[in-house]
């Protein structure tokens, strides 16, 4: 993935994480799963494991979006260095001419 693509993806992830509907939905999912886990009978091993997997999946989804947002910082730095390098090359060429 190019730095430009990573920056675009980061921007999209930031937009999604800023959307109140998405954050409210994820929060609600986490609360509902925890409540279901608390009231789940101890003997229901399969049910508790399914709830645990849902909790992990919800957390992983949120973490992946955050990771995508953070990768945009690295991509922005790479783009800045690339552009500075191009600008420096252009200056050097102008000096030689």
The pLDDT tens digits of the residues spanning 36-70 come to 999 999 999 999 999 999 999 999 999 999 999 98
- For residue 93, pLDDT over 90 is answered with no
In the chain, which ranges are continuous DSSP H helix? Answer: 3-18, 20-39, 45-96
Residue 97 scores a pLDDT above 70: no
Q: Record the tokens describing residue 1, joined without a space.
A: 């993935």
Nearby residues of 70 by Cβ (< 8 Å), 6 or more positions away: 10
pTM exceeding 0.75: no
Q: 94: Cβ–Cβ under 8 A, 6 or more apart, which residues?
A: none
Q: Is 16 exposed, middle or buried (0-12, 13-18, 19+ CB in 10 A)?
A: middle
Interatomic CA distance for residues 31 and 23, integer angstroms: 12
């Amino acid at each position: 993935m190019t730095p430009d693509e990573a920056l675009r993806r980061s921007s999209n992830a930031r937009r999604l994480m800023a959307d109140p509907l998405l954050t409210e939905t994820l929060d609600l999912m986490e609360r509902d799963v925890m409540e279901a886990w608390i009231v789940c009978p101890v003997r229901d091993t399969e049910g508790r494991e399914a709830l645990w997997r849902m909790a992990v999946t919800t957390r992983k989804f949120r973490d992946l979006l955050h990771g995508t947002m953070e990768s945009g910082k690295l991509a922005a730095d790479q783009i800045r260095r690339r552009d500075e390098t191009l600008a420096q090359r252009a200056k050097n060429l102008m000096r030689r001419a």
